[in-house]
Amino acid sequence: MDRPSPKTLVLIQTDPMKSHRAVEALRIALGLGSHNEGRDISVVLCGRAPYLLSEDAGDIVDGEILEKHIPVFIEWGTPFFITMDSETPHHYIRRRDEAYQRGRNSQCIGISRPGSRLLIGMCR
């Protein structure tokens, strides 16, 4: 009998317009989710990190890499949670599902369940 794989929550706090680390965190999330098409991955965006989902990636460090990764998350239907106190772009990348959700910090962290992995990295 196969054991269910643990859920992984990736928390990104880095400003993607000042550091490559925000895009790198998404690349890591992509790798972690690649074994099952992202079914076990959730991404929480804090601070200015929601700009990773902006329609215009021109000001984002490593934006050309981001533009390759975002379509995979969209195809997988990976949920993105945006904390209430985050700064957000005016126009998000369009998705056919409602995978962008806003919540308080505690709600976003609360989506992690026992037996889950919490990856907090690439911070500031």
Task: State yes or no: pLDDT of 123 exceeds 60.
Answer: no
Compute the CA torsion angle 79, 84, 89, 91 (nearest 10 deg): 60
- The pLDDT tens digits of the residues spanning 18-64 come to 999 999 999 999 998 888 877 888 888 889 998 998 888 889 999 99
The full set of domains in the chain, from first to last, is 8-120 (3.40.1260.10)
The alpha carbon of residue 31 and the mean position of all alpha carbons in its chain are separated, in whole angstroms, by: 13
pLDDT for residue 112: 47
> Is there a contact between 14 and 124 (Cβ–Cβ < 8 Å)?
yes
Task: State yes or no: pLDDT of 8 exceeds 60.
Answer: yes
- The pLDDT tens digits of the residues spanning 95-119 come to 544 455 555 544 444 444 444 454 4
